[in-house]
Amino acid sequence: MPPRQRQNLQLARIFGIRVGVSFSWFFVLFLLIWWLGTSYFPPILEGSRTTDYLVAVAAALGYFLSLILHELGHALVARRLGIGIAGIDLWFFGGLSKMRREPATPGEEFKVAAAGPAVTLLLLVICAAVGVALSSGHPFTESLTRENFTTTPALAIAGWLAFVNAALFVFNILPAFPLDGGRIARAIIWRTTGDRNRATGWTGRAGQALALLVGLAGLLDLQRTHSSFSLLTLLLAFFLYQAAGAAVVQGAIGRRIANVRVADIMDREPVTIPADVTLLDAQEQYFLRYRWPWFVVVDPARHFLGVIRQQRVEEEIAAGRPALEVVEALEQDLAVRIGEEAPLESLLGAEGLGRLGAMVAVDADGVLQGVVTLAQVRRALAPAS
């Protein structure tokens, strides 16, 4: 049975790209609004508590909008390069563009990785320009740092967004995985050495070093201030170290399985359903017989057409459409197709393995050659790990 995807809520759909949020996002949103409304904005705003919180809400939403635009930069460039985008997720510490495949060349890696920081830098310039325009002739940076200085809500929001985008840009451009700077560095090392796995390992170790530094800073700040934000810094360090460690492992395994192909481990005789079989027959002859949650659907020449799930079959039959052919009920937008000659490494992180628990191998003409499951991939990786 394939593993379940982590569920989240759809926040919006921009340029056809789904933007979802995890439940941790709501916690961070509440915490950020509370901190901005009680500590950050009151000293610089001459207004009521209501004004402080309204500005805090606008500033917090502006921060997350900046994150969405940053991730859209990655997603749109990736899509332009032919890399499918499953969506954008906002979570505890930021955002993530979920690509259906990894960049295939150093050039693709560099372009996709650099797009996000480029958007953040543009937002910084725009917010700073707005701040300068609203600062009534005073130097913008001076107005933000002067003691006992009060300002308008608009200038306060512009200053805050300029500050957070500057911080995001500087931190995110550091050459350590999984930050964008680490991915840019990986592209450069990959291009220089011709070895993607070595580049992944090097930037992963740099990410681990950065995570340890962030964690040390969080510990020192916790001892000095006992602030709850110090705990968040420690949590950030933990997540960074985990992601960087995964990159180190991925690089090491990638070097060991570099010569293994999908065709070497796949099942060459999977059970398939012909395209013209009705849903009722599919349920009786396949799903009830084999007790599998999905099957591959092929045409008479064994061209791969898609995947049919048991849940969809049951829904269509319950809706009074048992005579519908399976080809009319295939899963949409499910990236499970891969070339039989593709390296095993290309399966690592593949969307199909996460959502379906398998990938479908085809030849150059799209003819089904086999199915490789998550269990088979794990068995192939076991000696290497």
Backbone angles phi, psi at 96, to 5 degrees: -150, 125
**315 and 251 housed in the same domain:** no
The residue whose two tokens read 């398939």 is: 272
Whether 1 is in a domain gets the answer: no
Contact 35, 160 (CB under 8 A): no
Distance (Å, rounded) from C-alpha 149 to C-alpha 135? 12
Q: State the CATH number of the domain containing residue 324.
A: 3.10.580.10
Distance (Å, rounded) from C-alpha 134 to C-alpha 152? 9
> Could you give the percent of the chain with pLDDT greater than 70?
92
**215 and 168 housed in the same domain:** yes
pLDDT tens digits along 18-59? 998 888 788 888 888 998 888 888 887 877 788 888 999 999
Whether 114 is in a domain gets the answer: yes
Does the pLDDT at position 7 exceed 90?
no
Contact 238, 224 (CB under 8 A): no
Choosing from 227, 256, 285, the residue where a domain stops is 256
At residue 34's C-alpha, the angle toward residues 215 and 92, to 5°, is 45
Q: Of 108-117, 177-186, 329-338, 361-370, which gets the smallest average pLDDT?
A: 329-338
Q: Of 111-120, 157-166, 340-349, which gets the smallest average pLDDT?
A: 340-349
pLDDT tens digits along 65-86? 999 999 999 999 999 998 888 8
Per-residue pLDDT averaged across 120-130, rounded? 93
Q: Indicate the pLDDT class of residue 323, thresholds 50, 70 and 90.
A: very high
For the chain, strand residue ranges (E) read 9-14, 17-21, 85-91, 94-99, 272-274, 294-298, 304-309, 337-339, 358-362, 368-373
**184 and 50 housed in the same domain:** yes
Whether 153 is in a domain gets the answer: yes
**278 and 241 housed in the same domain:** no
**118 and 228 housed in the same domain:** yes
Q: Indicate the pLDDT class of residue 228, thresholds 50, 70 and 90.
A: low
Inter-axis angle of helices 180-193 and 106-134, nearest 10: 150
**360 and 312 housed in the same domain:** yes
**Which residues does residue 361 pair with via DSSP β-bridges, in sequence order?**
338, 370
**286 and 229 housed in the same domain:** no
Does the pLDDT at position 347 exceed 80?
no
286 or 101, greater pLDDT? 286
**244 and 103 housed in the same domain:** yes
Whether 138 is in a domain gets the answer: yes
Whether 2 is in a domain gets the answer: no
**163 and 280 housed in the same domain:** no
**26 and 159 housed in the same domain:** yes
What pLDDT is stored for residue 3 in this prediction?
35
Backbone angles phi, psi at 367, to 5 degrees: -80, 135
What pLDDT is stored for residue 26 in this prediction?
85
Q: Of 7-11, 95-99, 166-170, 203-207, which gets the smallest average pLDDT?
A: 7-11
Residue 354 has which token pair? 């996460």
Q: Indicate the pLDDT class of residue 385, thresholds 50, 70 and 90.
A: very low
Is residue 254 exposed (0-12), middle (13-18) or buried (19+ Cβ within 10 Å)? buried
Is residue 326 exposed (0-12), middle (13-18) or buried (19+ Cβ within 10 Å)? buried
What pLDDT is stored for residue 357 in this prediction?
86
Q: Of 50-54, 268-272, 322-326, which gets the smallest average pLDDT?
A: 50-54
70 CA to centre of own chain? 12
Does the pLDDT at position 146 exceed 50?
no
Secondary structure (3-state) at 336: coil
The residue whose two tokens read 């749109």 is: 76
Choose among 301, 303, 329: nearest CA to 315: 329
Does the pLDDT at position 383 exceed 80?
no
What pLDDT is stored for residue 142 in this prediction?
55
Whether 134 is in a domain gets the answer: yes
What pLDDT is stored for residue 227 in this prediction?
67
Whether 366 is in a domain gets the answer: yes
Choosing from 191, 224, 256, the residue where a domain stops is 256
Choosing from 225, 256, 287, the residue where a domain stops is 256
Indicate the number of domains in the chain. Answer: 2
- For the chain, how far is it from start to end, CA to CA, in angstroms? 24
Distance (Å, rounded) from C-alpha 358 to C-alpha 2? 8
Residue 111 has which token pair? 């372009």
Does the pLDDT at position 135 exceed 80?
no
The residue whose two tokens read 């899963």 is: 331
Averaged pLDDT score across all residues of the chain:
86
Does the pLDDT at position 238 exceed 60?
yes
What pLDDT is stored for residue 300 in this prediction?
93
Per-residue pLDDT averaged across 356-383, rounded? 86
**102 and 67 housed in the same domain:** yes
Does the pLDDT at position 283 exceed 70?
yes
Does the pLDDT at position 345 exceed 90?
no
Whether 4 is in a domain gets the answer: no
Does the pLDDT at position 4 exceed 70?
no
Per-residue pLDDT averaged across 332-358, rounded? 80
Residues in Cβ contact with 151 at an 8 Å cutoff, skipping those fewer than 6 apart: 44, 45, 143, 159
DSSP code string of 235-291: HHHHHHHHHHHHHHHHHHHHHHTTT-BGGGTSBSS--EEETT-BHHHHIIIIIHHH-
**248 and 279 housed in the same domain:** no
Does the pLDDT at position 328 exceed 90?
yes
Radius of gyration of the chain measured on its C-alpha atoms: 25
Per-residue pLDDT averaged across 241-261, rounded? 82
Specify the amino acid at residue 40. Answer: Y
HSE, CB side, 13 Å, CA atoms: give it for residue 316. 23
Specify the amino acid at residue 20. Answer: G
pLDDT tens digits along 9-29? 888 888 889 998 888 788 888
Domain region containing 329: 262-381
